[in-house]
Amino acid sequence: MIPAILPTYNRAPLSFVKGEGSWLIEADGRRFLDLGAGIAVNALGHAHPRLVSALTEQAQALWHVSNLYEIPAQQKLAEMLVAETFADTVFFTNSGTESCELAVKMARKHFHDAGQPERVEIVAFEGSFHGRSSAGIAAAGSEKMTKGFGPLLPGFRHLPFGNHEALQVAITDQTAAVIVEPVQGEGGIKPLPDACLKGLRDLCDAHGVLMILDEVQCGVGRTGRLFAHEWAGIAPDIMMVAKGIGGGFPLGAVLATEHAASGMTAGSHGSTYGGNPLGCAVGCAVLESVTEDGFLAEVQRKSGLLRQGLEGLVAEFPEVFAEVRGSGLMMGIVCTAPNTEVVQAGYGAEVLVVPAAENVIRLLPALTISDAEIGEALNRLRATAETVQANAA
């Protein structure tokens, strides 16, 4: 019999009832060190007092009015994002997937209204992940995500990650946009080198193509800059944001330049919940925290600490771990042992990590993780590796 919850997830038999910073408390009282942060969502950890008070204050005042009316918290968050980034304008969504939908629509509409309706193609990369909607799976293009779901949204072209020659050929006068994650998340924590991102920007400029960056997973301070593309010294035309921006409240956004957004006029797009007062009140508190003096420098410092420890574990347990990669507090360990066994052994050591493609485990801790907690994470990952090693013997 089909379960009450549609069985699309493989869930671990863990049921968390409370969160405190980097910790999750299981129903039986065990305290797990959370290095997954809800898959890069709980940027400030669980139950951060600032977010709790932003949410409860807003909840006591007003939950929802719809986008028929002005929403002060939405206006404030949009203005903050515009001030902090390349963007001139913002549309709020509820998820990364919805941000993908709008990014694709916006790029196509831009060229339609600019008198180039033939420019509809979106160039995307193998191994990418942009969400589970029809546009999202068409953008990713993998058989795993698309098989069985009927005709796909047309107009996507997929290139191998990092193949520059293929890119030169793929961009034509039919291309509207290139969509890419500066750091592939689900694909196995694969940073696109800064030089490649710069090269891609130049190529887009040379061909008048819009650059869409998917910073749903790598954005909002995750890599130690507010947005990952800042490391390469470039800016996109359109950027997808979600996850960390809501700190655990469902919130996403599409940021764009005035030029890229030129086709989006009243009635061209909408969302009932997008930019709702609750989400935006939390979003403002997240963004205020992440942009506070010294916050991102701390993320970078802690990244160094974590990375150094992880490199040590790789050297100590070559039968379990092969390589560390990533940026900021978006780290991946390529495993020698099956990554699912490592995740499983982690449960035994009361540490949560997240699997990704290419036999990687992801470490996406709260950006507020302390030095002591990083030390504890390394201890628990060592215990995890010992278990995996013992099970293999």
**How many angstroms separate the CA atoms of 101 and 84, rounded?**
24
Buried b vs exposed e over 73-86: b needs ≥16 C-beta within 10 Å? bbebbbebbeeebb
If binding is defined by CB under 6 A, does position 363 make contact with ligand PLP?
no
Among the listed ranges 67-75, 123-131, 267-275, 276-284, the one in contact with ligand PLP (CB under 6 A) is 123-131
Q: At 240, phi and psi to the nearest 5? A: -95, 135
Reading the block at residue 101, the tokens are 């939908």
Cβ atoms of residues 183 and 189 within 8 Å:
yes
If binding is defined by CB under 6 A, does position 130 make contact with ligand PLP?
yes
Task: Out of 141, 185, 224, 236, point to the residue binding ligand PLP (CB under 6 A).
Answer: 185
Q: Decide: residue 263, CB within 10 A, 0-12 exposed, 13-18 middle, 19+ buried.
A: middle
If binding is defined by CB under 6 A, does position 191 make contact with ligand PLP?
no
Task: Out of 242, 299, 314, 381, point to the residue binding ligand PLP (CB under 6 A).
Answer: 242
Nearer to ligand PLP by C-beta: 125 or 129? 129
Tokens 């990554």 -> residue: 339
If binding is defined by CB under 6 A, does position 51 make contact with ligand PLP?
no
Q: Residue 264 pairs with which residues in a beta bridge? A: none
If binding is defined by CB under 6 A, does position 186 make contact with ligand PLP?
yes
Q: Residue 93 pairs with which residues in a beta bridge? A: 252
- Local structure of 174: helix, strand or coil: coil
DSSP notation for 75-139: HHHHHHHHHHSS-SEEEEESSHHHHHHHHHHHHHHHHHHTT-TT--EEEEETT----SSHHHHHH
If binding is defined by CB under 6 A, does position 93 make contact with ligand PLP?
no
User: At its nearest, how many Å lie between ligand PLP and the CB of residue 95?
Assistant: 4
- One-letter identity of residue 193: P
If binding is defined by CB under 6 A, does position 214 make contact with ligand PLP?
yes
User: At its nearest, how many Å lie between ligand PLP and the CB of residue 223?
Assistant: 13
Among the listed ranges 29-37, 214-222, 288-296, 322-330, the one in contact with ligand PLP (CB under 6 A) is 214-222
If binding is defined by CB under 6 A, does position 327 make contact with ligand PLP?
no
Q: For the beta carbon of residue 257, count every other beta carbon within 10 angstroms.
A: 17
Nearer to ligand PLP by C-beta: 92 or 317? 92
**How many angstroms separate the CA atoms of 51 and 59, rounded?**
12
Each residue 252-291 as x (binds ligand PLP by CB under 6 A) or -, in order, gives ----------------------------------------
Among the listed ranges 49-57, 69-77, 181-189, 277-285, the one in contact with ligand PLP (CB under 6 A) is 181-189
DSSP summary character for residue 11: -
**Residue whose beta carbon is closest to ligand PLP:** 96
Angle at alpha carbon of residue 253, lines to 247 and 255, rounded to 5°: 130
User: At its nearest, how many Å lie between ligand PLP and the CB of residue 122?
Assistant: 14
Nearer to ligand PLP by C-beta: 19 or 252? 252
If binding is defined by CB under 6 A, does position 129 make contact with ligand PLP?
yes
Phi-psi region of 47 (alpha: psi -120 to 50; beta: other; left: phi over 0): left
If binding is defined by CB under 6 A, does position 42 make contact with ligand PLP?
no
Nearer to ligand PLP by C-beta: 216 or 256? 216
CA distances, 77 to each of 38, 235, 270, 288, 332 (Å) = 23, 20, 18, 10, 31
User: At its nearest, how many Å lie between ligand PLP and the CB of residue 216?
Assistant: 4
Among the listed ranges 10-18, 23-31, 90-98, 331-339, the one in contact with ligand PLP (CB under 6 A) is 90-98
If binding is defined by CB under 6 A, does position 181 make contact with ligand PLP?
yes
Q: How many residues bind ligand PLP (CB under 6 A)?
A: 15
User: At its nearest, how many Å lie between ligand PLP and the CB of residue 99?
Assistant: 7
- Residues found near ligand PLP in the complex (CB under 6 A): 39, 95-97, 100, 129-131, 181, 185-186, 214, 216-217, 242
